[in-house]
Amino acid sequence: MRFEDLTPDQIPEHVAIILDGNGRWAKENGKLRQQGHKAGADNVETINDALTEMGAKYLTVYAFSTENWKRTEDEVSYLMGLMKRYLIKNKKDAIARRTRIRIIGDKSRLAPDLRELMEEVERDTAHLDRFNLTFAINYGGRDEIVRAAKALARKAQNGELDPETITEETFASYLDTAGMPDPDLMIRTSGEERTSNFLPWQLAYSELYFTPVYWPDFTVDELKKAIVSYAGRQRRFGGR
């Protein structure tokens, strides 16, 4: 099957990506890790634009995990600065392309200026609906589930919620991804075949695609390969 032969309904509505391999890409190309992250951020723009053109509706990228604080102070501060520059640079463009930007994860541990910028971009793009770009920053799936459980428990304790009435839908509405459909396709680059605490609830029935290509080398052609692989699969959701 070729990408050009796919019909619109074979394009995934929601693609989630664990963008991995920036560091190894830098090392193999004789560059600094920072340069790997910069190339990775530029590639988010490329893949975001390509998915928008293809007719997908959501792109969710894992950019910083709750575990990534274990990296050196230099690398953490570079990554936070890169996020800030990305949002400043892309806000206008996102609005022009009618893209809603969301940030999922626990913002409470982020620097106040970055948090304010995130909230401003989320607010100023909240009404846009052609495409949805979501960054997972200080995101951990288990942390997200614990935060949702705490919020539900508080409501129950205050008598605002009867625990017996909690359904999967109620629970999902307390997650950071409330209101978003679950990913159809999850891609991880760089050869690692694990999900590293990314969207454990939401990926329950997603198709998974792993490629050895490092994230900065993940071109639109590589994206097309992933989508062709996705389109060739039989999704079942437990049925037959």
Residues 79-98: x where in contact with ligand IPE by CB under 6 A, - otherwise, as a string: x-------------------
Residue 66 or 90: which CB sits closer to ligand IPE?
A: 66
Judge whether 68 counts as a catalytic residue: yes
Which range in 22-30, 44-52, 112-120, 125-133 contacts ligand IPE by CB under 6 A? Answer: 22-30
Give DSSP secondary structure letters for 4-41.
GG--GGGS-SEEEEE---HHHHHHHTT--HHHHHHHHH
| Number of C-beta neighbours around residue 218 at 10 A | 25
Q: Pick one of Mg ion, ligand IPE, none as the site partner of residue 68 (Cβ within 5 to 8 A by kind).
A: ligand IPE
Question: Of all helices (H) and strands (E), which one includes residue 60?
Answer: strand 58-65
Q: What span, in angstroms and rounded, lies between the C-alpha atoms of 108 and 101? A: 18
Among 12, 44, 64, 148, binds ligand IPE (CB under 6 A): 64
Q: Quick one: 155 exposed, middle or buried, by C-beta within 10 A (0-12, 13-18, 19+)?
A: middle
Catalytic one of 20, 176, 182, 184? 20
Q: Which regions of 73-152 does DSSP assign to beta strands (E)?
A: 99-104, 131-139
Among 16, 22, 107, 187, binds ligand IPE (CB under 6 A): 22
Q: What span, in angstroms and rounded, lies between the C-alpha atoms of 78 and 85? A: 10
Q: What span, in angstroms and rounded, lies between the C-alpha atoms of 8 and 76? A: 39
> Locate tokens 């951020």: which residue?
41
Length of the chain: 240
Strand order of the β-sheet with 131-139 is 99-104, 131-139, 58-65, 14-18, 185-188, 207-210
Residue 66 or 125: which CB sits closer to Mg ion?
A: 66
Among 18, 101, 103, 133, binds ligand IPE (CB under 6 A): 18
Among 21, 140, 183, 216, binds ligand IPE (CB under 6 A): 21
State the minimum distance, in angstroms, from the CB of residue 204 to ligand IPE.
19
- The conformation of residue 175, written as its DSSP 8-state character, comes to S
Q: Pick one of Mg ion, ligand IPE, none as the site partner of residue 85 (Cβ within 5 to 8 A by kind).
A: none
State the minimum distance, in angstroms, from the CB of residue 100 to ligand IPE.
21
Q: Pick one of Mg ion, ligand IPE, none as the site partner of residue 19 (Cβ within 5 to 8 A by kind).
A: ligand IPE
User: Which residues are CB-neighbours of 221 under 8 A, at least 6 positions away?
Assistant: none
Judge whether 184 counts as a catalytic residue: no
Which range in 113-121, 174-182, 192-200, 202-210 contacts ligand IPE by CB under 6 A? Answer: 192-200
The footprint of Mg ion (CB under 5 A) covers 20
Size of the site for ligand IPE (CB under 6 A): 17
List interacting residues with ligand IPE (CB under 6 A): 18-24, 62-65, 68, 79, 190, 192, 194, 196
By annotation, the residues acting in catalysis are 20, 68
